[in-house]
Structure 1
Amino acid sequence: MYVRTTTTIIITKNIFVKVFLIIFILSLSVFINETSATAGYCYQCNSRNPKCGINVTAELKLDGTPCNGQCYTRLNRDDEFTIYRGCSWEHGFMTEQRRNLLIIQGNSVWVFCDTPYCNFEATNLFTTVCYQPICDYLNFPEDCKLPNADVTCGRNCNNKLCNSIGVRNRNRNRKRHPSHT
């Protein structure tokens, strides 16, 4: 009886170890899959091409770029607010960036995504740049001189992307927020 009990305990331990290893390997593969942001292919173009404006024409997939990082959509204020698209690794973003969140770096505003050709639209970038809630508390056109105000408050600072015609005149007549008086 003693031999049988020892054998049963050894078999039970072996099964437990195997089940634990299988669960560990599966958990590790899920973790790696979640943390690796590899888009595969991204659109690579800029808005000087009429097929690469706010939205991209699907035929530009032929010019897509392989990407082991994330796809990006970028707005550069030094280049007349041209919209650029490509792979994050081209510009030194070697670690994963938060998805669909505006990142301001230098004179550019970036939005990153993780799936193939996910940088096909600039709507998120456009909405974020043109309609920041904080802009309602600023005084335009003077506050366009603040750091990044021309990007974050684009519709108030003549950002061509936002078609800001007439917004300045409307803002001069509005009431200021009580904390700014």
Structure 2
Amino acid sequence: MNIDAAIVHIPRLRRYARALVGDAAQADDLVQDTLERACQKWALWRPPVAASADEAQKALRSWLLTLMHNLFANQWQQTARHRTVELDEGMDPSYDPTAKMGLQLDLQRALTLLAPQAREVLLLVGMEQLSYAETAQLLGVPVGTVMSRLSRAREQLRRLMEGERPVASVLRAVK
């Protein structure tokens, strides 16, 4: 298989990156970084033994999504080390600049308020339609962790979509 096989996955990578980071420019940068890493590491990827063409493409997609996940996690950890983000307590909870833009923007806003680990699992299972086992393998966590994160993410997303204000907390890097 050659590097051109990865090109068919670019739309899916862009969709996942856009939902993951919430910004088109950052998403495009993440996709570019992922494809650059794939080109650098191409010799390390091996399709499953005796796999059909469809199975090989599915394995390649999973490998590319794993690369993207790892790059995103590394970038998120680096930014978390450099700053501590606090939710603004003084913000008027009734002010919502996206209220007139519809449900899609509400969903995008709610997704950005989820923790990165919860957002990743929710997007991989819900949007990319990966199985729990595929998601667990991609993220490098047990299947039970995927199920737990997904359950909590769905519940938190439901609350946010119903208009609940996110819990004020301080996000910090934990060693």
Query: The TM-score by the shorter chain falls in which range?
Result: under 0.3
Q: TM-score, normalised by structure 2?
A: 0.28
Q: Tell me which structure has the larger Cα radius of gyration.
A: 1
Greater relative CO (CA pairs within 8 A, separation 6+):
2
Q: TM-score, normalised by structure 1?
A: 0.27
